[in-house]
Amino acid sequence: MAEMGAQIRTDEGRTSEDIKKDFFQTPKECTRALIDWIKEYEMFTGEILDPCCGKGAISNELIKAGYDVTAYDKYLGASGIDFYDEDKHYDTIIMNVPYSHKYLFLQKAFKVADKVITILPNQIINYNMFFRDYMNTPTFVGKILLTPKIFMSENPELKKGGASSYSWFMWDSKHNNEGVSKEWYRNLLDFTKE
């Protein structure tokens, strides 16, 4: 029997606490702001995969907007599909990565899809590895900076005033930014109405 308070070890050496910590829902406004950008720039269409959909916070907004979306999650919901086992090819991945797996998820995503978009806190750019290997590459299209700062919690509703601002970071295997990636801005308060 597990000791009181002991963490249950799961596959991949992750504890039950690790899994819980990695479940943060994307406020709907973040996805609506991304959809607004996609429509303006006519990019990132085609068959979309959300490989870690949680309770569907991102994928439901995409489906409502008319996109062709496949969504699953290893730990939540009935599918139990592990993204690392994915062998199909998709046009685009749109996701909110489990933070403790961010690099592994991105590496897998680049193999599975031509275009990859993930939401991440802006502090990520201070990590040398992320900046050097993921932003300073020809395939990095740029980021959509979302204001204001928000709370990313277990609730998909927008709560202002959190510790972090977030961006959608975007890559396209057919893109060559020649050293110049772009930054766009969206105010989440413009996307509170359905």
- Choice from 76, 125, 135, 145 touching ligand SAM (CB under 6 A): 76
- Choice from 48, 53, 113, 116 touching ligand SAM (CB under 6 A): 53
Burial of 5 (0-12, 13-18, 19+ CB in 10 A): exposed
Question: CB of residue 38 vs ligand SAM: minimum separation in angstroms?
Answer: 17
Which CB, 98 or 142, lies closer to ligand SAM? Answer: 98
Distance (Å, whole) CA 7 – CA 17: 7
Which CB, 53 or 181, lies closer to ligand SAM? Answer: 53
- Choice from 18, 65, 75, 102 touching ligand SAM (CB under 6 A): 75
Task: Give the distance from CA 93 to its chain's centroid.
Answer: 8
Q: Which residue has the tokens 């068959």?
A: 47
Are 58 and 95 contacting, i.e. CB atoms less than 8 angstroms apart?
yes
Question: CB of residue 138 vs ligand SAM: minimum separation in angstroms?
Answer: 27
Q: What residue type is assigned to position 135 of the chain?
A: M
Distance (Å, whole) CA 122 – CA 146: 9
Question: CB of residue 183 vs ligand SAM: minimum separation in angstroms?
Answer: 22
Are 142 and 123 contacting, i.e. CB atoms less than 8 angstroms apart?
no
Report if residue 57 touches ligand SAM, rule: CB under 6 A. yes
Distance (Å, whole) CA 139 – CA 179: 10
- Choice from 10, 21, 84, 190 touching ligand SAM (CB under 6 A): 84
Report if residue 24 touches ligand SAM, rule: CB under 6 A. yes
Report the SS3 class of residue 149. strand
- Choice from 35, 38, 48, 98 touching ligand SAM (CB under 6 A): 98
* Residues binding ligand SAM: number (CB under 6 A): 21
Q: Could you list the residues that contact ligand SAM (CB under 6 A)? A: 22-26, 51-54, 57-58, 73-76, 82-84, 96, 98, 101
